[in-house]
Amino acid sequence: MSISERLIQDIVLEFPNFRIVDKCHDGLSRAIDRALKIVTFGGQDGYLTVYHTVIGDTLYVPASWSGASDVERAIVLRHERVHLRQRRRYGLGLMAFLYLIPFFPVGLAYGRARIEWEAYAETLLATAELCGLAAARSPELRARIVRRFTGPDYGWMWPFGRQVMRWYDEALDRIANELEASRAAPHGEHAA
């Protein structure tokens, strides 16, 4: 069984109503795509074709999902499982409010940034574990994630690029230390 298939099984055990839906064939996803194009003045034009989105217990995926590698799917699933857990922790109403409102829906969305920082920390950890620390440190990944926070992808949710880069570097330092500690721990023990 592949890594992503095992992750899907684990997610279903944790969230029994979990399902994966193709965005291109989903009316809600098409409506969100149109709305995002309007509020970002066309800047967010990849909602249907690039981005994976959790709403409730459903993961909405672009058509590229079927052609993604097992590792790519696993990294996405780990990121999205963070959002599933956040929704369970906050409840759907508060999660939607935090994601969409504070402080502004576009331009300075602190709630959305906090939610995404947690999920992207898992993206970095999954990348380091599945592809190696060098892959998590790649300039391309860093630029892509920083752009997600500071550009139209998430409605310029946190336009402070230096702060996002500092968060990224600190997250990678923690991950590197955790991985090193787990390698240094005697077999069968976990580092504290």
Report the alpha-carbon distance of residue 114 to residue 98 in Å, rounded: 9
Tens of pLDDT, residue by residue, the chain (192 residues): 999 999 999 999 999 999 999 999 999 999 999 998 988 888 898 899 999 999 999 999 999 999 999 999 999 999 999 999 999 999 989 998 988 887 777 778 899 999 999 999 999 999 999 999 999 999 999 999 999 999 998 889 998 999 999 999 999 999 999 999 988 877 655 554
* Predicted TM-score of the model (pTM): 0.90
- The H or E element containing residue 55 is strand 53-55
- The H or E element containing residue 176 is helix 161-184
Domain locations along the chain: 1-90, 103-192
What is the DSSP code string of 91-150? Answer: -HHHHHHHHH-SS-SSS--HHHHHHHHHHHHHHHHHHHHHH-HHHHT-HHHHHHHHHHHH
Name 7's Cβ contacts closer than 8 Å, sequence gap at least 6: 73, 74, 77, 78, 81
Looking at this protein, which amino acid is placed at residue 89? R
